[in-house]
């Protein structure tokens, strides 16, 4: 089954404690991306990757890091989380915009 | 800042009516536009995309694009309660690699 998986699905953490949200896709897609979704603000792109070892900033990259060492994985790293990073995070992958699939989402609460 | 604007709604229509969802965008260079549907608690899923001026029909859905007016719309004919969801409009940043989303319009179809 073609899918994008994210882990964990839910996470409660404290300010400053480093965390990683994993994202994996099994569709051999070149493109992967991370978004955050907040009420009233819609989906905002954090980082994206056009291919392995190629990443670029989206609209809200501050406080986040990513890496793309292999095609299937695109982890999102929060080195020092803060409460304003409390949000719903989506990973997506696609062979083109017409085939962009979203993962199930990770709900993060930073205390 | 490039923007995509949508009325947040909620938009309420009776079952069987036509639902009209609208979106405007600021980046005159954007060429590609997408409509995603997001059920409550779920991830967005792509339902329509449009690249050319005019109408594009797919079943009960029609996407309309007017580049001169920088306006995109989605019509849902014979609306069903199962169409109740939030609809997200997105445009490709003309620099490539990024999708810019609107805030989403919540649609409620009443039986």
A76-89 confidence digits (pLDDT tens): 999 999 999 999 99
Instruction: Report helix, strand or coil for A89.
Output: strand
- CA dist A108 and B35 (Å) reads 26
pLDDT at residue A41 tops 90: no
CB < 8 Å to B46, chain A: 98-101
- CA dist A28 and A24 (Å) reads 10
What separation in angstroms does the CA of A94 have from each of A1, B34, B74, B87? 15, 14, 23, 20
Instruction: Report helix, strand or coil for A78.
Output: strand
User: Quick one: pLDDT at residue B20?
Assistant: 96
Mean predicted lDDT score pLDDT of chain B: 93
Residue of A nearest to B2 (CA): A59
Cα–Cα–Cα angle for B34, B36, B42, rounded to 5 degrees: 155
Say whether B46 and A44 touch across the interface (CB within 8 A): no
At B108, list the tokens.
């409620």
User: Quick one: pLDDT at residue B61?
Assistant: 97
* Among the partner residues B43, B46, B98, nearest to A45 by beta-carbon distance: B98
Who contacts B96 (Cβ-Cβ below 8 Å, separation ≥6)?
none
B35 touches chain A (CB under 8 A): no
Residue of A nearest to B4 (CA): A42
Mean predicted lDDT score pLDDT of chain A: 95
pLDDT digits (tens, 9 = 90+) for B16-38: 999 999 999 998 888 899 999 99
* Among the partner residues A43, A45, A98, nearest to B88 by beta-carbon distance: A43
pLDDT at residue B2 tops 80: no
The candidate with the shortest Cα–Cα distance to A109, out of A6, A5, A17, is A17
Chain A interface disruption, residue of B101, B102, B105, most A CBs within 10 A? B101
Say whether B104 and A100 touch across the interface (CB within 8 A): no
Say whether B43 and A56 touch across the interface (CB within 8 A): no
pLDDT digits (tens, 9 = 90+) for B53-107: 999 999 999 999 999 999 999 999 999 999 999 999 999 987 777 889 999 999 9
- CA dist A105 and A9 (Å) reads 6
């Amino acid at each position: 089954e073609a899918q994008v998986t994210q882990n964990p699905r839910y996470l409660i953490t404290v300010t400053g404690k480093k965390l990683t949200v994993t994202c994996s896709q099994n569709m051999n897609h070149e493109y992967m991306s991370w978004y955050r979704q907040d009420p009233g603000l819609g989906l905002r792109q954090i980082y994206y990757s056009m291919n392995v070892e190629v990443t670029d900033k989206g609209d809200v990259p501050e406080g986040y890091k990513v890496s793309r060492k292999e095609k299937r994985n695109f982890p999102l790293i929060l080195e020092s989380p803060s409460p304003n990073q409390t949000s719903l995070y989506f990973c997506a992958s696609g062979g083109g915009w017409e085939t962009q699939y979203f993962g199930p989402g990770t709900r993060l609460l930073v205390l | 800042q490039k923007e995509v604007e949508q009325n947040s709604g909620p938009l309420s229509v009776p079952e069987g009516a036509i639902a009209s969802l609208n979106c405007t965008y600021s980046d005159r260079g954007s060429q590609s536009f997408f409509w995603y549907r997001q059920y409550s608690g779920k991830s967005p899923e792509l339902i329509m995309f449009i690249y050319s001026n005019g109408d594009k029909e797919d079943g009960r859905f029609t996407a309309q694009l007017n580049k001169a007016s920088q306006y995109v719309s989605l019509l849902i004919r014979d609306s069903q309660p199962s169409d109740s969801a939030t609809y997200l409009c997105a445009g490709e940043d003309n620099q490539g690699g990024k999708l810019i989303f609107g805030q989403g319009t919540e649609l409620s179809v009443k039986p």
